[in-house]
Structure 1
Amino acid sequence: MRTAAVFGASGGIGRALSAALVDRGLTVWAGSRSGEEPVDGTRPFRFDLSDEESIMDAADAMRDDPPDLVIVATGVLTLPDGTGPERSVKAIDGVAMARIFAANTIGPALIAKHMLPLMPRDRRCVFAALSARVGSIRDNRLGGWHSYRASKAALNMLVRNFAIEFARTHKHGIVAALHPGTVDTALSEPFQGNVPDRQLTTPSQAAENLLAVIDGLSPVDSGGHFDWKGEAIPA
């Protein structure tokens, strides 16, 4: 791979992914809402998940040097106003749920809309979106976290849809959802109390794990959801 684009490069995992890709010698487009350079040696760009035009502008900027690898490292668990995952059905709020879906499902879908057509057709390319194990319907044994779970389950379905469509034009292409595990970032910080130390990884470790999974994917894996060890997560 020669060129990568990271959407969400100012977050803990996104920044670590950008740094790891720079270390690999790739040209790295690093996107954030501020448009500032999150890591030395990247090409910064501005985008906002709620503003499709900004995503379209970002894609247009990359058109002459399209990425072989696109990583969507965005996502929200707790809203900026402090609204966190619902612990019961009584806590569901329609406005908050819509905001979660906008960030975790609709935003990545808009990125796919504008980035997938740019990706090379004559060689291996990968579009990866960060998802979560709790988005698995079959693996759900605890319930709760309704908006987050549902938004990630919807994202996983979109990844499957995009993979089917992508294969018609990009025979070497891969579209996948990735679960990074529990990573020591602002997103997971309020919920780390019950996580054993050995199961909590640093952003740098998570980035290396995710890139190792991406390295091992082939077109037959397209449409799947994989954890940080490369193991398939049930739908």
Structure 2
Amino acid sequence: MSFLNEINHINILIVGANQGIGLGFVKKLLQNEQVSKIYATYRQLESATELMTLADKHFDKLICLSIDIADELQISECVQQIRAEISNLHLVINCVGLLHEGNLQPEKSLRQLNSENLLRYFQINSIGAVLLAKHLLPLFRHGERSIFATISAKIGSIGDNQLGGWYGYRASKAALNMFMRTAAIEYGRSCPKALVVTLHPGTTDTRLSRPFQNNVPAEKLFSVERTVNQLLTVIEQLQEGDSGQFFSWDGSRLPW
């Protein structure tokens, strides 16, 4: 992680680390000898078996915390637990995202919209992330370079929308991008060494994308390992003026 080469003891938080891209980040970052602590969150213990196994193996380095980012009290309590142990974070990656669950599925037309599902999309994909930004701010108030990255999606780009559909997911990711861009401005005043960015991972072979992979060309369906490596490369190459920007997995800037 070249952007943190000058730091000997790196503290990291991965939100939504029980599976998919989040778990992939944990596995990759555990290999970095400069990393001192990795805090990894999960929502349900039954879906975090592999994460817990890693925590048992790396008990001195990996700390697992339960959190539902739809619940601000849980966010606050989780951050307080972290602050009781360390005074700063150098890298936060929020990997929490919702595309489908139970009866909630991406809408193909206006007639499929309902307010309950739309609120659920916004609660998980948008509001949870900006509440994380609210409570994590004190841990970024330090003199070392740091990055707060949130996994967004190209489908949340208003300028790129040519196909329509997927109302709730698109709109909640667009809201996420606005929330994090706005947070980046405030972070720039309060903790100028911190960069806040949103990242499009590409279509990754995870539970989130699995029902929708049929029309994805094989070369455009990334393994979790490939996605993690690509996104870490983007993170490593971030410059001071990049805070508040929206990047694709290949490092290109995406339109809002």
Do these two structures clear the TM 0.5 threshold for a shared fold by scoring above it? yes
Moved over 6 A (4+): none
What are the ranges of 5 or more consecutive residues in structure 1 without an aligned counterpart? none
Residue 69 of structure 1: aligned partner? 91
- Does residue 1:18 correspond to 2:26, yes or no? yes
Secondary structure in 2 matching 1:141: coil
Structure 1 counterpart of 2:236, one-letter code: D
Post-superposition offset of 1:120: 3.9
Deviations 1:140-170 (A, max 9, x none): 1011100000000000001110010000022
- 1:25-40 to 2 correspondences below 5 Å: 25=33, 26=35, 27-34=37-44, 38=51, 39-40=54-55
Aligned residues of 1:70 and 1:128 also touching (Cα < 8 A): yes
What are the ranges of 5 or more consecutive residues in structure 2 without an aligned counterpart? 5-9
Instruction: Tell me the TM-score normalised to structure 2 length.
Output: 0.88
Identity, in percent, stands at 39
- Partner Cα distance (1:190, 1:129) in 2: 23
Residue 5 of structure 1: aligned partner? 13
Residue 44 of structure 1: aligned partner? 64
- Does residue 1:83 correspond to 2:108, yes or no? no
Post-superposition offset of 1:83: 2.1
Post-superposition offset of 1:53: 1.4
Aligned residues of 1:7 and 1:14 also touching (Cα < 8 A): yes
Post-superposition offset of 1:121: 2.4
- Partner Cα distance (1:189, 1:230) in 2: 25
Residue 57 of structure 1: aligned partner? 77
Post-superposition offset of 1:62: 1.5
Aligned residues of 2:107 and 2:167 also touching (Cα < 8 A): yes
Residue 7 of structure 2: aligned partner? none
Number of paired residues? Answer: 234
Instruction: Tell me the TM-score normalised to structure 1 length.
Output: 0.96
Higher helix share: 2
Secondary structure in 1 matching 2:190: coil
Secondary structure in 2 matching 1:54: helix
- Does residue 1:182 correspond to 2:192, yes or no? no
- 1:108-147 to 2 correspondences below 5 Å: 108-147=129-168
Structure 1 counterpart of 2:39, one-letter code: W
- Partner Cα distance (1:50, 1:154) in 2: 15
